[in-house]
Amino acid sequence: HRATVDTSYNASSMLVWQHFRIPPEGAVPAFLFASLSYTVILFCNLLLILTIVLSKNLRQPMHLFLLNMPVNDLLGSSAFFLQLLKELRSDSGRVWHPACVTQAFFIHIYAAGTVLILTAMAYDRYVAICLPLKYNVVMTYGHVVRIIAAIWLACLLMIGVLFFLFLRLPRCRSTISNIYCDQPTLLALVCANTTVNHAYGLFIVAITQLLANGVIVYTYVRILLVCFQGRQSDTKAKALQTCATHLFVFLLLECLGLFTIISYRVKHLPPSFRGFMGSSTLIFPPSLNPIVYGIKTKEIRDNIVHFFRSRILKSCVRDRRHSSSS
C-alpha cells in the first residue's frame, strides 16, 4: 500500500501548500497589499536601473556594480511575488512542481548574488579610498566587467549544482510546509538520502559567507584606518558614509539570512515564523536598496531629480504650446 501511495505522489505534478490558508475576508486586502509592495519594489528598482543606464555621468565602476544590485533584487522579488500573487488570486492551495522548482532556483540565485555583489562593491570602495592613485589602473572597465561576469557565473554554477543534486532524487511527498519554495522545503519532499545535498548546501553557504565576511571586514577596517589617519575631513566623512551605507545593507541581509537558515535547523519553530523570516529577506532588501543607494549616493540622487525636473519642464512647455496654439 505504501509503495502505491509513493508512486502516486511521484506521478503527481501538483504540490499542496500546507500553511498557505487565508480567510476569505482577508484575501482581497492581502492581494492588494502584496500588489502594492511589488509595485513599489518594481518602480524603485527600475528607476535606479534607468537612471544609471541613461545617465552618461554614471559610468564609474561603482555604478556598474550598483546596476547589478536592482537587477538581482528584481530577480528575487519577482520570483517570490509573482507566485504569491497567483496563489492569492486563485486560492487553489496548489502549485505546479516545475513552477516551485523555478521559484526556488531564482530565489537562491538572488541570495547568492546579493552577497557577492556587496562583496565586489566593498572591494571597489577599498581600492578607491585606500589606493586612490591606483584606482584607474586597477578598476578598469574590462576588470569590472570580468568581476561582474564572474559573480553571475559563480551564482549559476553553485546554484545549478545545488538543484542538479536535488532533481536526481525521487519525490514521494507533495505537501509544502512553507509559504514559498526554496531548496530546504523541496528537500523535505524527498524520500531518499539527502546527506550530500545538505552537505553541499552548507558548503556553498560557508564559502560565500567566509568570502563575503572576510573581504568586507578587511576592507572596512582598512578604510576606517585610512579615514582616521587622513587629514581631509570631507574625504573622511564621505568614506564613513559609504561604509555606513554598505554596512547597513550587508548587516540587514546577513541577519535575515542567518535567522532563516537557523529556522530550518530548529524543528520546534512555528512554520509561520520561518515563512516570515524567509519572505522578509525577499521583501525588505529589494525595497530598501534603491532608497539607500539612490538617496545616499549624491550622483544618482542628482540624476533622478534632473530626470523628473526635465520631464516636468517638457510637459509644461508642451501644455503651453498646446494652449497658445488653441
Which pLDDT score, from 0 to 100, does residue 164 have? 94
Which pLDDT score, from 0 to 100, does residue 309 have? 75
In the Cβ-directed half-sphere of 94, how many Cα atoms lie within 13 Å?
7
Which pLDDT score, from 0 to 100, does residue 322 have? 60
Which pLDDT score, from 0 to 100, does residue 303 have? 80
Residues of the chain predicted below pLDDT 70: 1-12, 19-21, 230-240, 242, 267, 271, 295-296, 311-326
Domains of the chain and any CATH numbers: 26-307 (1.20.1070.10)
Which pLDDT score, from 0 to 100, does residue 102 have? 94
> How far is residue 259's CA from residue 257's CA, in Å, rounded to a whole number?
6
pLDDT tens-digit map of 130-151: 888 888 898 998 999 999 999 9
For the chain, where are the alpha helices, taking DSSP H only? 2-11, 24-54, 61-90, 97-130, 135-138, 141-167, 183-187, 195-229, 233-265, 271-296, 298-325
Which pLDDT score, from 0 to 100, does residue 20 have? 66
Which pLDDT score, from 0 to 100, does residue 116 have? 92
End-to-end CA distance of the chain: 82
Contact between 162 and 201 (Cβ < 8 Å): yes
Which pLDDT score, from 0 to 100, does residue 257 have? 77
Cα angle value 63/65/71 (rounded, 5°): 100
pTM: 0.85
Contact between 139 and 124 (Cβ < 8 Å): yes
User: Grid coordinates 545617465 are at which residue?
Assistant: 55
C-alpha grid cell for residue 321?
Answer: 504650446
Which pLDDT score, from 0 to 100, does residue 1 have? 36
C-alpha grid cell for residue 194?
Answer: 539527502
Contact between 125 and 138 (Cβ < 8 Å): no
Which pLDDT score, from 0 to 100, does residue 4 have? 38
Which pLDDT score, from 0 to 100, does residue 258 have? 78
Which pLDDT score, from 0 to 100, does residue 15 have? 86
